Amino acid sequence: MNVVYEVCCGRFTRPQFFLLLIIILDHGLDSVEGVWPLPQTLTSFTERYPLKPQAFYFDYRRQSAAQHGCSILDAAFKRYFSLTFPDYISAANGVLQITEDRPFIVKISVDRNDCENYPREDSSEKYNLSVSAEKAYLSAETVWGALRGLETFSQLVYQDDFGSYFVNKTEIEDFPRFQFRGILLDTSRHYLPVQTILKTLDAMAYSKFNVFHWHIVDDPSFPYQSCTFPDLSSKGAFHPMTHIYTHSDVRSVISYARLRGIRVLPEFDSPGHTKSWGKGQSNLLTPCYRRGIPSGTFGPVNPALPSTYQFMERLFKEVSSVFPDSYIHLGGDEVDFSCWRSNPYVQAFMQRMGFGADFTKLEAFYIEKIVNMTSLLNKTSIVWQDIFDYSERHRPLSVVEVWKQGCYLCEVRRVVKAGLRVILASPWYLDQPGPTHNWARYYTVWPLAFKGTEEQKKLVIGGEVCMWGEYVDATNLTPRLWPRANAAAERLWSDERQTSSVDKAFPRLQDFRCKLLRRGIQAEPLYVGHCKHEYQGV
């Protein structure tokens, strides 16, 4: 008997039909997309379990009856339920429905009751995740670790071609390689609406970034609304009402970030990069001189006036209370000395201080005063590498951010040799467009590939992706950032030995990029290919 099967637009003999069936089924099963960034140890099995959104819940197990619920986890359960089951629209609106199915339970336990806290520089993000029949165990030392584990769990769940959900048996032990994994957004060169910042925080959590470095003010505009000095934004912002961040905006960014285990690190860059500050604060910037008379233009903050330090003290006092993070970024980069040099009062100050004609000494003097000011406010300060390069005694400095191109590892080595901590940004300047800015370039970065002791290498606390704002606003931020920033995310989280191959990482990153699209993040394509759920253009 010659049975012929009709499938769609073709007729097939029995062997052909079964071959086709295998291809279809196989395709349906091949979509266990890996986890990005790759966990430290991951063992996955071919045993798979079906998941039904209507028979699934997260169960937070309190350590003691006295312990209250955890608002961070409650909020996370809601988010991760939708992320785990992206096309599930619950008729009962999130309420567990009565079904015949035995529920799949994700049991979460956290050692420390730190639910009310703000993430700290040394917070543990370690977690263990074990997925087996009908249940998963997620255990962590802190609630921040639990958040990382929930993210991983959501990435383990996949759908077959018929839309059914599955998760394979899996064992994971995971922790970050570096404690500081940041993204810098620049809200001075272009104003970024609060919604855009929040969306970026969402995407950051998807690849386990944990620091939002908010380069909030700079030369072009001063959008931070200060209560102490309201003129700074009313005169220095692009628009005094629409292009500012009020205290309530800032608070909502901080609380949104905190719920995702992300710290918000504010940067108030000085003495350079401060043109916009001068609009709302007279006598702050240095008047530049030409042929002995003021030319009408202004340079960096004037380091020769006591009033400058009184102003900075009051501003940083406010900023320190608005931003709860233990770190503050003081900038200190790219100071143009020509205006200082032209000003006779600054020159006289130089003579009095015995700085000769060395303006790097003047800048070091200025920054030392600001650093001391902020350390009295219990903040650890970060400065751009320029300050380190200028200071002979690095005494008040603690964290240096290396940003210059060229031999950046040489610089990293110099900084750690001086016993200071380093954040590496040089290889991750993502604001430039163009085909040469291939993701692999951000992936093949080896932050510890310099000669140094174990102790010195520990001083490299992490790295940061910088998205400067000259050519970036809310229209193109997301595709310019993702998925290229994800390359840096994996470099900063995962074991280098397991993630050294670009070829191996590529399909996993392509899958992850599709996952980002599914989650509403308009990540740009890496190369030729397709996603099961394409971006629909709305």
CB closer to ligand NAG, 32 vs 339: 32
Question: Judged by CB under 6 A, how many residues of this single chain contact ligand NAG?
Answer: 6
Cα distances from 339 to residues 201, 280, 295, in angstroms, run 39, 20, 10
CA 503 to CA 284: how far, in whole Å? 53
Which has the closest alpha carbon to 299: 309, 308, 289, 291?
289
CA 264 to CA 144: how far, in whole Å? 15
Q: Which residues are catalytic?
A: 334
CB closer to ligand NAG, 10 vs 50: 50
Indicate which single residue of 16, 40, 168, 234 sits in contact with ligand NAG (rule: CB under 6 A). 168
For the chain, the first-to-last Cα distance in angstroms comes to: 53
What tokens were used for 307? Answer: 């009033």
Minimum separation from the CB atom of position 21 to ligand NAG (A): 15
CB closer to ligand NAG, 44 vs 179: 44
The reply to whether 375 sits near ligand NAG by the rule CB under 6 A is: no
CB closer to ligand NAG, 2 vs 46: 46
CB closer to ligand NAG, 171 vs 313: 171
CB closer to ligand NAG, 34 vs 300: 34
Minimum separation from the CB atom of position 72 to ligand NAG (A): 30
Minimum separation from the CB atom of position 249 to ligand NAG (A): 42
Minimum separation from the CB atom of position 32 to ligand NAG (A): 4
User: Residue 292: how many CB atoms within 10 A of its CB?
Assistant: 7
Q: Which residue is associated with the tokens 């060395």?
A: 358
For 229, residues 6+ apart whose C-beta sits below 8 A from its C-beta are 280, 281, 311, 314, 315
Pattern of binders to ligand NAG over 30-69, x per CB under 6 A? --x-----------x-x-x---------------------
Minimum separation from the CB atom of position 22 to ligand NAG (A): 12
CA 490 to CA 122: how far, in whole Å? 19
CA 118 to CA 101: how far, in whole Å? 39
CB closer to ligand NAG, 168 vs 252: 168
Contact call for residues 306 and 349 (beta carbons, < 8 A): no
Minimum separation from the CB atom of position 29 to ligand NAG (A): 5
CB closer to ligand NAG, 169 vs 394: 169
Which has the closest alpha carbon to 129: 102, 148, 157?
148
Minimum separation from the CB atom of position 46 to ligand NAG (A): 4
Contact call for residues 153 and 129 (beta carbons, < 8 A): yes
Site for ligand NAG in 101-130 (CB under 6 A): none
Indicate which single residue of 5, 16, 17, 29 sits in contact with ligand NAG (rule: CB under 6 A). 29
Minimum separation from the CB atom of position 126 to ligand NAG (A): 23
- Residue 158: in which H helix or E strand, if any? strand 158-159
- Residue 252: in which H helix or E strand, if any? helix 247-259
Strand partners, 159: 165
What tokens were used for 335? Answer: 């100071």
Which has the closest alpha carbon to 491: 460, 524, 456, 527?
460
Contact call for residues 176 and 211 (beta carbons, < 8 A): no
For 188, residues 6+ apart whose C-beta sits below 8 A from its C-beta are 215, 216, 217, 218, 219, 220, 221, 222, 223, 276, 469
Minimum separation from the CB atom of position 170 to ligand NAG (A): 8
Strand partners, 301: 285
Which has the closest alpha carbon to 221: 240, 239, 236?
236
Q: Beta strands of 268-357 (E only): which ranges?
A: 285-290, 293-301, 327-331
CB closer to ligand NAG, 252 vs 498: 498
Q: For 103, how many CA atoms within 13 A lie in the half-sphere containing its CB?
A: 13
Work out whether the CA dihedral 303, 363, 280, 247 comes out positive or negative.
Answer: negative
Which residues of this chain interact with ligand NAG, rule CB under 6 A?
A: 29, 32, 44, 46, 48, 168
